[in-house]
Amino acid sequence: MRDLDAGVCAPRGFRAGGIWCGIKAGSRKRDLALIYSEKPCTAAAVFTTNRVQAAPVLVSREHLEGGILRALIANSGNANACTGEPGLAAARSMAELAAGEFAINAGEVAVASTGVIGVPLPIAAIESSISSLADSLRSDAAGHEAALEAIMTTDTRKKAGALELEIGGKAVRMGAMVKGSGMIHPNMATMLCFITTDAAISRELLDRALRRAVGRSFNRVTVDGDTSTNDMVIIMANGEAGNVPLDAEGPGFDLFAEALQTLCIKLARAVAGDGEGATRLVTVSLKGAATEEAAETLARAVASSSLVKAACFGADANWGRVLCALGYAGADFDPGKTDVYFSGPAGEVLVCKAGAAVPFSEEDAKRILLGDEIEIRIELTGGGSGAATAWGCDLSYDYVKINGDYRS
Amino acid sequence: MRDLDAGVCAPRGFRAGGIWCGIKAGSRKRDLALIYSEKPCTAAAVFTTNRVQAAPVLVSREHLEGGILRALIANSGNANACTGEPGLAAARSMAELAAGEFAINAGEVAVASTGVIGVPLPIAAIESSISSLADSLRSDAAGHEAALEAIMTTDTRKKAGALELEIGGKAVRMGAMVKGSGMIHPNMATMLCFITTDAAISRELLDRALRRAVGRSFNRVTVDGDTSTNDMVIIMANGEAGNVPLDAEGPGFDLFAEALQTLCIKLARAVAGDGEGATRLVTVSLKGAATEEAAETLARAVASSSLVKAACFGADANWGRVLCALGYAGADFDPGKTDVYFSGPAGEVLVCKAGAAVPFSEEDAKRILLGDEIEIRIELTGGGSGAATAWGCDLSYDYVKINGDYRS
């Protein structure tokens, strides 16, 4: 497995593009993206668990039932959520407009939106620009970049990745772009992630690999505890790599699933590190819990705690807040058998042993906590083997600033 | 029922006081409080649900098993949490020191602490000051004030209340003080509340009334989603009012329970309004849910949402975030049958009808949202009768500032 400095156009047979169509009325930043595959793709997706589901989520969910995708159209600047029947009609129109450009079925087009909730989607802007968007598609890095820019909202960094692996002697590639910075929380919160691959793989196995990868990556990221109405991860596999199709579990599938998980974790970390207003990425790793599930519940609670996040912003080694968050997480553990370390590129300090204070150098702790990346490492010494990692970020003044007046 | 401008010394037979004993080493602010009853009290308490329980919680829980209290000793500046066996010994010493002053049993003394976690409690400071604390007790407002000051940490306001009601022709009083501003979340989070009453009431009914009142007041307050290791609500009833003892449900008990709930709601609102860095109190009221429990879950999710809270800080009528929070709350509701109003002393605007946008005056909304008190009023129109109110506050720059470097 090797990293590629590329995105959704890395796998063969995919083209992508992005333009400004007018939804982001003020800024003239790109706001409409398209990803297209020459050949039909098996496809799988994971959608938001929020009970309020945006129109594009409803439409994409319906289209994914067929299991085959050719294209994916996405806009930023407007979430098309809480927009009633007209919103649903607009989401359907987006799919139809894209389908019309390639003479494919609208049911083979996924739709995604992100942005402000409750404002009617200006579908006319999309209609008048769809042809130039289709014309702009490219199979190189520039196509990927344009599409990625067109799905960004409060993101401050471009978050993408690609890698290549070998399955049965054939080079298989996968590439991805992700959007998300606020409203990020376990279970698919305000995030769009589009993944392409040229692997030949059955729909069932693709779905299995995606769910597993998302469970250990995006669903363990938290920025602010809010889960959104719009989010989705979609993967499209067009089979252009020419590998013997993966249609049963085995070494080939394991390689594919592992690579997909690696790619998703890379992007999940990027989302956490680009949390709204974040100044540092906070990784919470926990081992020794009774089960992986318990470990995940505990690690997530620490990564989600506003008080832990504020302490990370202030580079304050306030480990009592870590214990406190473990205490209300809802999973079983013995506070008296809990060790906590703060670590980072600048070193590591043990700050809590067996649930109680130990002497440590405040100076060393400060140096570690001032880094761009902090790890809060928790070891439960009661003998369990459950381990999990969660990712978050600090809570800064800028989070409040960004979200205090988002609509204007 | 009438309000009294008083606190825990309003009921007959209680004395209170507070001094500086040296735990808050730098500030010389009061840090040690004592409340004492001339007569034995029936007592009831509700404790934090955090799995990490501070030493004073463990000790008070044990002492409450006897059901009789004479005194309550509390310190601020040190939580005596995550302090192991020495911490437990220190909490027991606090009870013994107080008991020694009045020649009562240590088991009749409740203990509470609040402040930084994981630092050994300097019990010597308490030991050397306990006599002057006992000497300082007063039965008037000054005693109450001193005790209240001694339990405050990041609180910016004194939060207390008292009221008088008549039960069977006798005037019964109750008074309370509360401490809490950060780390406040449903289920008794970082908050200390001490309530006194001169009602004669059985332990069982006192417990029932307290649990009901706390469930509809403090457990519906949220500041930051963190629940603490230390919190408790304790009520002591000394019977000095001379009413026929309440020992069975009936009109007398109903009056008492209603008064206690009124007092607790008043204090819960004060805690929310004094949330760390808060600039405005946010009340979320919801009706039309299937059950009261569902209504509470939904209202709490809205009051807890970082995005809703940041929008309140920015006076931004971003109602989509309200829908979104309802959507991930975890209780059943129909987004298509949901109306949302923003209201306050400056008026009321309907911002969302049947789950979708309605035209409203942004100017009116801004005026309402700039008030010190905002109500987010949610009506589910599907026909249920469950209603609940939750209280929170906005999320400001100052929350981050206060919590970025709490220990220093």
Give the SS3 label for residue A111: strand
Mean pLDDT, each 10-residue run in order, chain A (408 residues): 96 98 91 97 92 93 96 95 94 98 97 90 97 97 97 89 96 95 46 96 97 91 66 95 96 97 93 77 95 94 86 86 89 94 94 93 92 94 94 76 56
Residues facing A113 on adjacent strands: A75
Q: From the CB of residue B1, how many other CB atoms can be counted at a distance below 10 Å?
A: 12
The chain A residue lying nearest B48, using CA atoms, is A328
Residue type (1 letter), A150: A
Mention every residue, 6+ apart, whose C-beta is less than 8 A from residue A146.
A16, A17, A18, A19, A30, A33, A136, A138
* Out of A52, A307, A321, closest to residue B335 by CB: A52
Task: Write down the domain spans for chain A.
Answer: 2-273, 281-404
Spatial contact of B144 and B8, defined as CB atoms under 8 Å apart: yes
Chain B residues close to A187, C-beta within 8 Å:
328
Q: A405: burial class by Cβ within 10 Å (0-12, 13-18, 19+)?
A: middle
Instruction: Give per-residue pLDDT as tens, B233-258.
Output: 999 999 999 999 999 999 999 999 99
Q: Do B117 and A404 touch (CB under 8 A)?
A: no
Query: What distance in Å separates residue B316's CA from the closest CA in chain A?
Result: 6
Mention every residue, 6+ apart, whose C-beta is less than 8 A from residue A310.
A394, A395, B399, B400, B402, B403, B404
Chain A residues close to B183, C-beta within 8 Å:
307, 324
Spatial contact of B261 and B373, defined as CB atoms under 8 Å apart: no
- What's the CATH number for A281-404? 3.10.20.340
List the alpha helices (DSSP H) in B55-140. Answer: 55-64, 84-102, 123-135
Sign of CA dihedral B48, B52, B58, B61: positive
The chain B residue lying nearest A303, using CA atoms, is B226
pLDDT at residue B101 in the model: 97
pLDDT at residue A181 in the model: 67
Q: Do A118 and B319 touch (CB under 8 A)?
A: yes
| Cα–Cα dist B9/A401, whole Å | 44
* Out of A306, A333, A397, closest to residue B226 by CB: A306
Buried b (16+ CB within 10 A) or exposed e, B54-91: bbbbbbbeebbeebbbbbbbbbbbbbbbbbbeebbebb
Instruction: State CA A356 to chain mean position distance.
Output: 36
Give the SS3 label for residue B184: coil
* Out of A307, A316, A404, closest to residue B224 by CB: A307
Which one of the listed residues B42, B83, B114, B190 is annotated catalytic? B190
The chain A residue lying nearest B311, using CA atoms, is A404
The chain B residue lying nearest A85, using CA atoms, is B356
| Cα–Cα dist A190/A195, whole Å | 16
Chains A and B form CB pairs within 8 A to the count of 225
Mutate to test the interface with B, among A229, A304, A306, A380 (most CBs of B within 10 A): A306
* Out of B226, B335, B401, closest to residue A325 by CB: B226
Query: What distance in Å separates residue A345's CA from the closest CA in chain B?
Result: 21
* Out of A52, A311, A323, closest to residue B324 by CB: A52
| Cα–Cα dist B233/B72, whole Å | 12
Closest by CA to A236, choosing from A58, A67, A99, is: A67
Which one of the listed residues A190, A227, A283, A338 is annotated catalytic? A190
Residue type (1 letter), A26: G
* Out of A305, A313, A400, closest to residue B310 by CB: A400
Spatial contact of A126 and A76, defined as CB atoms under 8 Å apart: no
Strands A192-197 and A14-19 come out as unpaired
Q: Do A84 and B119 touch (CB under 8 A)?
A: no
| Cα–Cα dist A162/B395, whole Å | 38
| Cα–Cα dist A379/A45, whole Å | 34
The owner of tokens 């739709």 is A111
Domain A2-273 shares a fold with domain A281-404: no
Mutate to test the interface with A, among B374, B403, B405 (most CBs of A within 10 A): B403
Give the SS3 label for residue A36: strand
Closest by CA to A228, choosing from A121, A309, A112, is: A112
Chain B residues close to A352, C-beta within 8 Å:
82, 118
Sign of CA dihedral B82, B86, B91, B92: positive
Chain B residues close to A50, C-beta within 8 Å:
324, 327-328
Q: Please, what is the Cα angle at A173 between A168 and A176, to 5 degrees?
A: 145
Instruction: Give per-residue pLDDT as tens, B29-61.
Output: 999 999 999 999 999 999 988 888 899 999 999
CA distances from B172 to A211, B22, B167 (A): 61, 37, 7
The CATH fold assigned to B2-273 is L-amino peptidase D-ALA esterase/amidase (3.60.70)
φ/ψ region of B244 (left if φ > 0, alpha if ψ in -120 to 50, else beta) reads beta
Chain B residues close to A327, C-beta within 8 Å:
50-53, 227, 229
Q: Do B318 and A406 touch (CB under 8 A)?
A: yes
Spatial contact of A327 and A320, defined as CB atoms under 8 Å apart: no
Residues facing B19 on adjacent strands: B32
Annotate B205-271 with DSSP letters as a single string. HHHHHHHHHHHTTGGGB-SSS---SS-EEEEEE--TT-PPPB-SSSHHHHHHHHHHHHHHHHHHHHH
A190 noted as active-site residue: yes
Q: Do A226 and B404 touch (CB under 8 A)?
A: no
Q: Do A225 and B305 touch (CB under 8 A)?
A: yes
The chain A residue lying nearest B230, using CA atoms, is A324
Give chain B's residues under pLDDT 50: 183-189, 407-408
